[in-house]
């Protein structure tokens, strides 16, 4: 029997920290590998040893299997855990690890091969008796086959995936999916299958060993997705019939045994939702992920098992662990992303000024009901553009599903997340949505639901809450101004010899300028409109707290406590109704910082991978002009209106957020310029 002494995790961030937590508990040494972009992240410092992989991009670093194996030998590791993503489902890498005399903590290369191609995997599963959807050759597709889902054969995580509802769009979407798949996985092969408009994504956790045993650990519902990437996961899946659960569990066991599966893996299915109208549920195999899943903590919670420990145990030659046959309670996990849901989930990057999520555990196993945080970042971490946008997973385990949803929403609501936009407000809204609470989720729920967080950013709460939050921001700036004085400390804030009107602070809220007026009434600050009329809200001078100011606003007989944090021109308000992110607008604007009308600015740092228009060409509104790649996703930059385009970048160029990519000049603007 093999005894593992030191594990190298061939991954980064959250999953590296997760594996290190179990390894430390088991008395196993830890080794990290890291790119230059990740040098300052917590997982590097937490490992016993860390080895640098020169470069920033995945292709230069975490996808270089030769460098990872070399790092393992250099650090004296005797085993490699691949995490998920990167090389975790690369059979050639698994073979190279084994050939180097190291223990591979994962399934056999042959099992990875058998599931690596989704096309071949479905044929194998059908032969094993697992229910499977048929595949459709894009060249043979007809109107009767629509809608279709184009998928990358070697893909995962929603990349290389497109929904097609018109045959005229099929060829173009196949090409786009193929290009994205080649970039993400090094394999451009794609295929088509029927797309279920109202399906549920349900998956089954399995663990196999070298003795032919397969442990089935219930199922998870992962239907809440954006861009085919999971956002909320839970175990057990709500609302399934007993027959459907049996079909899922038996199908997963058949799939694992058909390929002699060893280690932790997940068998994914689509389940029809016709049961809501009294019909029969239909189950069909999607794919098998031959690795640990991002959402594994919800299974760990309800079955009381450490899946990473199970992986190590099986890799050392042991049998699958014992586990309960039925789940206890309910667990829900959300993925906190650095993205802007109101801007089509545009990835965000930058400095996390504050990253404080009030949970009970970090990576550790639940011993009782509570909350857990698995994150690759902490306050002060830099979120870059070379990797995906997930910041953390927040997990809640409770006696009932209703309580788990409510407690998890409360934890997210109380979290301090300052510096970059996240999907936190969307997650809170989802966890309390009546259809989600009732278990009526499908994979297209987010695409169809009318949610506040998708319809546009806003100050949370009622109008009175919104006004008080903005007033609190202004009051905090008063406190900051008084504290920074070097002379005349005794003079009241905003004092004027002759009162002529309110003091005014101007804030930018999601591109809208908001002016907040106030005046000092003998030591009490009053919130006034711009004509000097008191609105009814008042506050005393703010109290200084760690890193910010505590502002208590009284309005209509209610006291509302706000914590306000100032960082350069940024103002973050933690209000009772939620977080409000503002920017202080300077009184005067530097002309050098202004850009021409019609300028298209880079929404995030990234690389220009395609330019689809030439300078001087006439373009139409909505026409794709160029494509950026950032955080492992492609983002089309389109013309805002009809006009003549001037392209300011070239393919392969690295751009920063706010850089001018192109300028579209309308005929009217061009005429005005000529007249001038």
Instruction: Establish if 96 belongs to a structural domain.
Output: yes
Same domain, 26 and 44: yes
CATH of the domain at 634: 2.40.50.100
Residues 576 and 606 in one domain: no
DSSP symbol at 133: P
Q: At what angle do helices 401-414 and 424-431 cross, to 10 degrees?
A: 150
Q: Are residues 561 and 650 in the same domain?
A: no
- pLDDT tens sequence across 64-84: 999 999 999 999 999 999 999
Q: What is the pLDDT of residue 155?
A: 64
pLDDT at residue number 407: 98
Output the CA torsion 109→113→118→120 (10° steps).
-150
Residue 274, pLDDT > 70, answer no
Confidence of residue 360 (pLDDT cuts 50, 70, 90): very high
- Asked if the model's pLDDT at residue 156 lies above 80, the reply is no
Of the listed ranges 244-248, 266-270, 502-506, the one predicted with least confidence = 502-506
On whether residue 221 sits in a domain, the answer given is: no
Helix axes 307-315, 13-25, angle to 10 degrees: 70
Q: Lowest mean pLDDT of 47-61, 332-346, 649-663, name the range.
A: 649-663
Residue 73 falls within a domain, yes or no? yes
pLDDT above 50 (res 208): yes
Look at residue 672 in the predicted model and tell me its pLDDT. Answer: 55
Instruction: Indicate if 564 and 606 belong to the same structural domain.
Output: no
pLDDT at 594 over 50: yes
Which of 558, 584, 610 represents a domain boundary (last residue)?
584
Q: Region 377-381: what's the mean pLDDT? A: 96
Separation CA 75–CA 77 (nearest Å): 6
Of 16-30, 294-308, 312-326, 338-352, the one with minimum mean pLDDT is 338-352
Which pLDDT score is estimated for 395?
Answer: 98
582 Cβ partners below 8 Å, 6+ apart?
470, 473, 507, 508, 509, 570, 571, 572, 573
Cβ–Cβ contacts within 10 Å for residue 52, how many?
16
Cα–Cα nearest to 156, from 203, 124, 194: 203
Last residue of a domain, one of 584, 617, 641: 584
506 forms beta bridges with: 515
Share of the chain above pLDDT 70, in %: 92
d(CA 45, CA 17): 10
pLDDT band at 558 (very low <50, low <70, confident <90, very high): very high
Statement to judge: residues 579 and 534 lie in one domain = yes
pLDDT of 276 over the 50 cut: no
Strand, coil or helix: what is 340?
strand
Task: Name the least confident of 60-74, 180-194, 482-496, 588-602.
Answer: 482-496
Cis peptide leading into 265, omega within 30 of 0? no
Q: pLDDT at position 179, please?
A: 82
**pLDDT tens profile 99-135:** 999 999 999 999 999 998 877 888 899 999 999 977 7
- Nearest Cα neighbor of 341 from 206, 187, 451 is 451
Average pLDDT of span 620-628 = 90
Determine, yes or no, domain membership for 617: yes
The length of the chain in residues reads 676
What angle is formed at CA 615 by the lines to CA 611 and CA 620, rounded to 5 degrees? 80
Quote the mean pLDDT of the chain.
90
What average pLDDT score do residues 527-549 get? 88
Q: What DSSP designation does 452 have?
A: H
For residue 610, being part of any structural domain is answered with yes
- pLDDT tens-place string over residues 219-267: 999 999 998 899 999 999 999 999 999 999 999 999 999 999 999 999 9
620 lies in which domain range?
Answer: 592-675
Exposure on the CB side of residue 414, measured as CA atoms within 13 A: 10
The pLDDT of residue 176 is 84
Q: What is the CATH number of the domain that holds 76?
A: 3.40.50.20
Q: Is residue 98 part of a domain?
A: yes
pLDDT at 632 over 70: no
Checking if the pLDDT of 277 tops 50, the result is: no
Does 77 lie in the same domain as 24? Answer: yes
What tokens does 348 get?
A: 């965000």
Domain count, the chain: 3
Residue 496 pLDDT more than 60?
no
Question: Which residues touch 548 (CB under 8 Å, ≥6 apart)?
Answer: 476, 563, 564, 565, 566, 572
Asked if 23 and 100 sit in the same domain, the reply is yes
Same domain flag for 634 and 572: no
pLDDT band at 144 (very low <50, low <70, confident <90, very high): confident
Given a cut of 90, is residue 406 above it in pLDDT?
Answer: yes
CATH of the domain at 488: 3.30.700
DSSP state of 230: E
pLDDT band at 314 (very low <50, low <70, confident <90, very high): very high
Residue 472 and residue 532 in one domain: yes
635 and 551 in one domain? no
The residue with greater pLDDT, 194 or 446, is: 446
In this prediction, residue 596 carries a pLDDT of: 67
Q: What pLDDT is attached to residue 495?
A: 53
Same domain, 519 and 610: no
Residue 629, SS3?
Answer: strand
Q: Is the confidence at residue 163, as pLDDT, over 90?
A: no
In a domain, 560, yes or no: yes
187 has pLDDT over 60? yes
In whole angstroms, give the CA distance from residue 66 to residue 14.
Answer: 23
Based on the fold, state whether residues 523 and 631 are members of the same structural domain.
Answer: no
Domain boundary among 105, 123, 158: 105
Tell me what the mean pLDDT of segment 484-489 comes to. 64
What integer is the mean pLDDT of 584-613?
78
pLDDT category, 599, cuts 50, 70, 90? confident
- Determine, yes or no, domain membership for 626: yes
Q: How far apart are CA 619 and CA 646, in angstroms?
A: 10
Helices of type H across 285-423: 296-303, 307-315, 401-414
Lowest mean pLDDT among 27-31, 91-95, 453-457: 453-457
């Amino acid at each position: 029997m093999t005894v593992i002494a030191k594990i190298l995790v061939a991954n980064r961030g959250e999953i590296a920290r997760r594996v290190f937590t179990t390894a430390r508990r088991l008395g196993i040494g830890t080794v990290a590998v890291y790119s230059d972009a990740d040098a300052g992240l917590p997982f590097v410092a937490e490992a016993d040893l860390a080895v640098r992989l020169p470069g920033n991009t995945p292709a230069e670093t975490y996808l270089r299997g030769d460098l990872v194996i070399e790092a393992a030998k250099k650090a004296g590791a005797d085993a490699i855990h691949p995490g998920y993503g990167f090389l975790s489902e690369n059979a050639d890498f698994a073979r190279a690890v084994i050939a180097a005399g190291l223990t591979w903590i994962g399934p056999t290369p042959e099992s990875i091969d058998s599931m690596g191609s989704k096309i071949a995997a479905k044929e194998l599963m059908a032969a094993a008796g697992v229910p499977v959807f048929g595949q459709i050759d894009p060249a043979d597709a007809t109107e009767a086959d629509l809608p279709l889902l184009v998928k990358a054969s070697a893909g995962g995580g929603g990349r290389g995936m497109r929904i097609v509802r018109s045959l005229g769009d099929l060829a173009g979407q196949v090409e786009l999916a193929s290009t994205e798949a080649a970039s993400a996985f090094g394999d451009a092969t794609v295929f088509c299958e029927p797309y279920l408009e109202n399906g549920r994504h349900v998956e089954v956790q399995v663990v196999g060993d070298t003795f032919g045993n397969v442990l089935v650990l219930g199922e998870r519902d992962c239907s809440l997705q954006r861009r085919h990437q999971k956002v909320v996961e839970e175990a057990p899946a709500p609302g399934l019939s007993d027959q459907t659960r049996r079909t899922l569990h038996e199908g997963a066991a058949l799939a694992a045994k058909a390929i002699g599966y060893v280690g932790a893996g997940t068998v994914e299915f689509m389940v029809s939702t016709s049961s809501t109208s009294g019909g029969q549920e239909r189950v069909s195999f999607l794919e098998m992920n031959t690795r640990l899943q991002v959402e594994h903590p919800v299974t760990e919670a309800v079955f009381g098992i450490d899946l990473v420990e199970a992986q190590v145990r099986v890799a050392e030659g042991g049998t699958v662990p014992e586990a309960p046959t039925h789940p206890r309670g309910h667990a829900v996990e959300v993925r906190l992303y650095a993205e802007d849901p109101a801007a089509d989930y545009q990835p965000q990057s930058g400095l996390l000024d504050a990253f404080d999520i009030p949970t009970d555990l970090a990576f550790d196993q639940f011993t009782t009901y509570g909350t857990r945080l698995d994150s690759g970042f902490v306050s002060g971490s830099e979120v870059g553009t070379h990797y995906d946008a997930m910041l953390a997973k927040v997990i809640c385990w409770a006696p009932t599903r209703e309580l788990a949803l409510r407690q998890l929403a409360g934890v997210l609501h109380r979290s301090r997340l300052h510096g970059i936009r996240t999907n936190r407000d969307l997650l809170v809204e989802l966890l309390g949505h009546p259809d989600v609470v009732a278990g009526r989720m499908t994979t297209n729920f987010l695409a169809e639901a009318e949610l506040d967080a998708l319809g546009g950013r806003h100050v949370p709460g009622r109008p009175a809450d919104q006004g008080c939050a903005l007033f609190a921001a202004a009051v905090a700036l008063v406190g900051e101004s008084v504290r920074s004085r070097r002379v005349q400390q005794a003079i009241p804030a905003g004092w004027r010899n002759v009162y002529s009107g309110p003091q005014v602070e101007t804030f930018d809220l999601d591109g809208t300028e908001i002016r907040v007026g106030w005046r000092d009434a003998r030591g009490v600050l009053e919130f006034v409109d711009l004509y000097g009329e008191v609105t009814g809200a008042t506050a005393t001078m703010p109290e200084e707290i760690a890193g910010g100011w505590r502002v208590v606003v009284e309005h209509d007989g209610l006291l509302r406590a706000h914590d306000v944090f100032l960082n350069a021109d940024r103002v973050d308000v933690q209000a009772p109704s939620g977080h409000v992110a503002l920017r202080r607008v300077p009184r005067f604007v530097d002309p050098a910082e202004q850009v021409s009308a019609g300028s298209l600015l880079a929404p995030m740092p990234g690389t220009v991978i395609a330019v689809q228009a030439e300078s001087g060409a006439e373009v139409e509104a909505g026409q794709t002009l160029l494509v950026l790649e950032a955080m492992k996703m492609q983002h089309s930059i389109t013309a805002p209106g009809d006009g003549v385009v001037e392209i300011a970048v070239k393919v392969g160029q690295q751009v920063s957020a706010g850089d001018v990519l192109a300028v579209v000049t309308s005929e009217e603007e061009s005429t005005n310029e000529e007249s001038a």
